[in-house]
């Protein structure tokens, strides 16, 4: 069993070499929360293959606009903010990466960003070996709360929450925002069937007006863990931290992200003018995508030995775990949000790209 000593943020000032500027603005509004089951998480992570950091070659082809067939077949084509931004992408980047098909439609995509994409896909293919197809439409439209209409009840749709999707049959991944590199890992979990069968999962114990996919919150929980383990390995590669210090570094990242999760949950509740316990009764919360799974179930899972339970694939234990959200929400106290922002991104840290 590993025992990890928490470090202070000052020990990680060199983070500025690898994270974007907005990460540091977000850090100013979070309160660090150490995950109680961090030992169990890192014990598992240390059994994974090591990520190899490579430079990837690619070809660039000018285009009038990206092909829209796959996007048109998805629910995202109905949002003009997304569709119109995709039509403005003028370059096709074909990444040379063994076995896998990786295409980026974008404008002025950096070598650094291409390397992150290639390295994450190659690393994941060591964890879950298969051939992956990943298509990116790297628009700059970010995930934001809608403006509140005094005459209509707000609804959180895919336009404000989602960044990608994976086709169930072909397992092809499509990602349509540049924001949140973590989304690539989320979709790789789906594509490799490392996620769970939603038909075997119970619903989260909230009273909902709309559908909610329990598996999405579990997948997001896993994606956060793998994403910060990738960043930890990248930090070692860039000599921001050392192998000896990597567990403290990973704990620092995840602890700050838990603070960000609380901030985002409180923001969503405030937007709908709800208290946590209101979610257990008839309420005015509206979603057209799995918001409560992405933000609330994910956060809840970090307060239990959830990773070992999920990896066991024992659906009886997993459903018992999910049912405990009821008590968690009853005991959850919201806090004032010290700084207002409309962002609905799910991860705190973003690597420079």
Q: Do 59 and 94 meet the contact criterion of CB atoms below 8 Å apart?
A: yes
- Whether the per-residue pLDDT at 207 is higher than 80: the answer is yes
Interval 9-23 mean pLDDT: 68
Q: Does residue 337 sit within a domain? A: no
Beta strands in the chain (DSSP E): 58-62, 91-95, 101-106, 133-139, 164-166, 173-177
Q: Are 328 and 10 in contact (CB under 8 A)?
A: no
pLDDT of residue 16: 56
Range of the domain at 312: 9-330
Residue 316 burial (CB count, 10 A): 9
Determine, yes or no, domain membership for 335: no
Lowest mean pLDDT among 9-13, 135-139, 233-237, 302-306: 9-13
Give percent above pLDDT 90 in the chain. Answer: 84
The model's confidence at residue 3, banded by pLDDT at 50, 70 and 90, is: very low
Is 71 within a domain? Answer: yes
SS (HEC) of 215-256: HHHHHHHHHHHHHHHHHHHHHHHCCCCCCCCHHHHHHHHHHH
Q: What local confidence, expressed as pLDDT, does residue 76 receive?
A: 83
The pLDDT, as a whole number, for residue 152 is: 75
What was the pLDDT predicted at 111?
97
Within a domain: residue 347?
no
Sheet holding 164-166, edge to edge: 58-62, 91-95, 101-106, 133-139, 173-177, 164-166
Element (H, E) at 160: helix 158-161
Look at 178 and 340; give whichever has higher pLDDT: 178
Query: How deeply is 198 buried, as exposed, middle or buried, from its count of CB atoms within 10 A (0-12, 13-18, 19+)?
Result: middle
Residue 203 placed within a domain = yes
Q: Report the distance separating Cα 186 and Cα 172, nearest Å.
A: 13
pLDDT at 5 over 70: no
The residue-averaged pLDDT of 8-18 equals 53
Is residue 343 in a domain?
no
Give the N- to C-terminal CA distance of the chain in Å, as an integer: 36
Quick one: CA dihedral 295, 297, 298, 303, positive or negative? positive
Q: Quote the pLDDT of residue 150.
A: 55
Domain count, the chain: 1
pLDDT tens digit sequence for 150-182: 557 789 999 999 999 999 889 999 999 999 999
Asked if the structure places residue 101 within a domain, the reply is: yes
Q: In the chain, what percentage of residues exceed pLDDT 70?
A: 94
Nearest one of 218, 213, 222, 136 to 181, comparing CA atoms:
136
Mean pLDDT, all residues of the chain: 92
Report the C-alpha gap between 206 and 280 in whole angstroms. 5
Question: What's the whole-number mean pLDDT along residues 296-309?
Answer: 98
Q: Indicate whether 349 belongs to any domain.
A: no
DSSP β-bridge partners for residue 59: 94
16/111 Cα distance (integer angstroms) = 19
Alpha carbons 268 and 262: distance in angstroms, whole number = 10
pLDDT for 337 equals 74
């Amino acid at each position: 069993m590993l025992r990890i000593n928490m470090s202070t943020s000052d020990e990680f000032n060199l983070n500025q070499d690898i994270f974007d500027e907005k990460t540091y603005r977000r850090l100013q509004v979070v309160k660090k929360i150490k995950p109680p089951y961090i030992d169990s998480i890192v014990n598992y992570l240390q059994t994974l293959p090591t990520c190899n950091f490579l430079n990837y070659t690619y070809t660039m082809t000018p285009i009038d606009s990206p092909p829209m067939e796959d996007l048109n077949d998805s629910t995202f084509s109905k949002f003009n903010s997304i569709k119109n931004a995709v039509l403005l992408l003028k370059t096709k980047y074909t990444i040379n990466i063994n076995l896998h098909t990786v295409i980026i439609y974008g404008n002025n995509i950096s070598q650094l960003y291409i390397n992150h994409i290639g390295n994450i896909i190659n690393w994941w293919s060591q964890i879950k070996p298969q051939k992956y197809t990943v298509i990116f439409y790297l628009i700059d439209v970010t995930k934001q709360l809608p403006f509140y209409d005094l005459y209509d009840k707000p609804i959180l749709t895919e336009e404000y929450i989602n960044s990608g999707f994976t086709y169930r049959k072909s397992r092809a991944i499509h990602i349509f925002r540049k924001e949140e590199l973590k989304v690539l890992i989320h979709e790789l979990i789906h594509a490799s069937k490392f996620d769970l069968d939603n038909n075997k999962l119970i619903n989260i114990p909230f009273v909902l007006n709309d559908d909610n996919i329990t598996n999405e919150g579990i997948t997001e929980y896993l994606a956060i863990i793998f994403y910060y383990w990738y960043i930890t390995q990248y930090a070692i590669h860039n000599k921001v931290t050392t192998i000896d210090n990597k567990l403290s570094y990973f704990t620092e990242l995840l602890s700050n992200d838990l603070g960000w999760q609380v901030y985002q949950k409180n923001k969503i509740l405030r937007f709908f003018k709800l208290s946590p316990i209101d979610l257990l009764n008839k309420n005015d919360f509206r979603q057209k995508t799995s918001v409560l799974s992405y933000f609330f179930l994910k956060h809840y899972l970090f307060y239990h030995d959830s990773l070992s339970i999920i990896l066991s694939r024992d659906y009886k234990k997993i459903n018992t775990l999910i049912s405990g959200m009821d008590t968690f929400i009853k005991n959850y106290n919201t806090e004032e949000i010290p700084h207002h922002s409309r962002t609905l991104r799910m991860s705190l840290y973003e690597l420079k790209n």
